[in-house]
Structures are given as structure tokens and as C-alpha cells.
A = this chain, B = another copy of it.
């Protein structure tokens, strides 16, 4: 049982759009991701997903609206809702979602990573 310092964890990697697992509880993962640029439109059939912005700004595009998230703001995207995260500049984001969640949901993309292959840091 060790504490996690979010800032230090973010300093430990550079890749963007590659979630890193930093905690696991009740079948859910806490993941850290660096966002920069445009992600891919996708949805998760059976998982709700929480995006908490810790640094920078992120826009979550939805099919009928957009949500702007600044530092200290979060959005829960319910299962089945198409979304596309965009960050004009580097942003640090914490995700909270079921361990089964595939990063690009229903879409196959060069960003796709099998949940079993996610790195724990």
C-alpha cells in the first residue's frame, strides 16, 4: 500500500495518448494520460469514463456539443456516448474507468492498446 504522487508520475513518462495505470480498486483502474492534439472519435459499449484534467485544457467533443475542461474539472462520459478528446497543448489527465476499458473503445486505430498490455507505473 503505497501512496501515489500524481505530479511525479506524470514526470516519469512522455508519450501522449498512452494511458498508464497508477491504481486499481474495485475492478476499476486509475490511469494517467498525456493528451496533445486530436484523439479519435469512439465510444465504450459498457463502460462509463471519467476525465479529470490536472494540467492544461481539454475539450471533449460530443456529437451534439462540446465540453471545455480546465484544471480541476472533470466530466463523466456515460457508456455508449461517442466522444473525441482534444487538447490544443499538452494536458495531463486522470482517468477513472473499469479495468476492461479499451482506450479507443469500439474503434481500431493506431492508438489502440489492449487493456492487458497497459503499463503500470
- A residues at B contact (CB < 8 Å): 1-7, 23-26, 28, 30, 47-50, 54, 62, 67-70, 72-78, 81, 96-98
Q: How many copies are assembled?
A: 2
Q: Are B26 and A62 touching (Cβ within 8 A)?
A: no
If A1-B78, A5-B73, A75-B1 touch, whether A47 touches B67 (CB-CB below 8 Å) is no
If A28-B28, A96-B28 touch, whether A3 touches B73 (CB-CB below 8 Å) is yes
CB neighbours (8 Å) of A50 from chain B are: 23, 25, 30
If A26-B47, A30-B50, A49-B25 touch, whether A3 touches B96 (CB-CB below 8 Å) is no
CB neighbours (8 Å) of A54 from chain B are: 72
